[in-house]
Structure 1
Amino acid sequence: MSKIVFETERLICRRIEPEDLEPMLAIYGDAEAMRWVGDGQPITREQCVKWLEVTNNNYRVRGYGMFALVERGSRSVIGFCGLVHPGGQEEAEIKYALARRYWGLGLATEAAAAMLEHASAVLGLRHVIATTAPENLASHKVLLKAGMVREELRLEDDGKHTQLFGWHDRQGENAG
């Protein structure tokens, strides 16, 4: 099976490899980059190693998971994007993170839009969600530009709210 998942004008999205541990740690270990992710705390080397194991298992079980984003020009890993099922949830959820120096260049939107196209065309998924902090307006813009729609504001068990976004594949709705 090919390691390349899809390519865009500026990015190559491929399966994560063990050598991606350092770029993963650089991005997910950056406190500012992790401000809106999970509990808002950077992750440790041990958590990155565990994440690699979980990702490889997702590839085996689902055929997808998180993937590395490689900048075409430099061939450097600049971020990660993928589809996951946190906590075993039914819906696939799109996730992404880029090294801070690549923020604001439209790369997250480019990756997210291509990932949604891949979800439909290759994986046959018809519905994908995204969740963000209500205050994370930059991610809201990325998701909307990528083709998702804002859905309800969800109250979580910890009393905080999560903004839900949804994407529904309309392919084939009018066929036949």
Structure 2
Amino acid sequence: MTVQLATARLTLRELSADDADFLVELLNSPTFLQHIGDKGVRDAAGALRYLDTGPGASYRQHGAGLWRVGLAGCDTPIGICGPVFRPQLPAPDLGFALLPAYSGQGYGFEAGQACVDYLQGEAGIRELLGITDDANTASQALLVKLGFVWDGYREVYPGEPALRLYRRAR
């Protein structure tokens, strides 16, 4: 099943090969690199590999994954938002990232709320998690605004600092 979500200002849909250039821009934006990390995507070919092994694999295995967030009407891509299924976590975490030009305008909350509503409603996921580094106070505030509660620190990646863990039960 292909998921498509809509809000007053946004559309959310599965990422596709047509989004390669957008993914290169997003995955190399300063805030993405600082808070999420370097995915090694430098060109369209790298974006297609990332898409196939990341969100695409998630769509195939779980029926959901990071979705492309676009402006309603003109469909300009502005970010990604959706569940990330990590084997080291007991439940999917809500991942999100916006291009810097679209931060601070309520788009993250709008996309996040649409994802939470779908995932904990129609998709029937009982618990969602959120993870952030200590420095990512904007994402921490967004998770709280979306109804997530801070639940301490969790080592997600061996050898790396523990991340802040947030939970949201249905």
**Is the structural similarity TM-score above 0.5?**
yes
The change in CA–CA distance for 1:112 and 1:31 in structure 2 (over 3 A counts) is: same
Secondary structure, in 3 states, of the residue corresponding to 1:43?
coil
Once residues 149 and 158 of structure 1 are traced to their aligned partners in structure 2, the CA distance between those partners, rounded to angstroms, is 25
Q: How big is each residue's C-alpha offset from its partner over 1:14-73, in whole Å with a ceiling of 9 and x where there is no partner? A: 1111101111111111234321003x5763335422221122222122110111001014
Q: Is the 8 A contact 2:58 2:85 kept in 1?
A: no
Q: Corresponding residue for 1:23?
A: 22
Q: Please give the per-residue CA displacement for 1:120-148, whole angstroms capped at 9, x wherever unaligned.
A: 11211000101001121111111111111
| Over 3 Å off, 4+ runs | 40-43, 87-90
Listed as ranges, the matches of 1:7-156 within 5 Å are 7-38=6-37, 43-45=41-43, 46-54=45-53, 55-87=55-87, 89-155=89-155
Q: Secondary structure of the equivalent of 1:50?
A: helix
**Distance of 1:168 and 1:73 partners within structure 2:** 33
Task: Give the structure with higher Rg (CA).
Answer: 1
Give me the CA root mean square deviation. 2.0
CA distance in 2, matches of 1:18, 1:167: 32
Distance 1:123 1:131 in 2: 21
Asked if the contact 1:16–1:52 (Cα under 8 Å) also holds between the matched residues in 2, the reply is: yes
Look up the match of 1:163.
164
Q: Percent identity?
A: 23
Distance 1:42 1:99 in 2: 17
Aligned AA (2:51): L
Query: What do residues 75-119 of structure 1 show as CA deviations (whole Å, max 9, x unaligned)?
Result: 111111111113464411110111100000011111111111111
2:14·2:67 contact (CA, 8 Å) conserved in 1?
A: yes
Of the structure 1 ranges 20-29 and 156-165, higher mean CA displacement relative to structure 2 is found in: 156-165
Q: How many residues align?
A: 167
How far apart in 1 are the matches of 2:63 and 2:137? 31
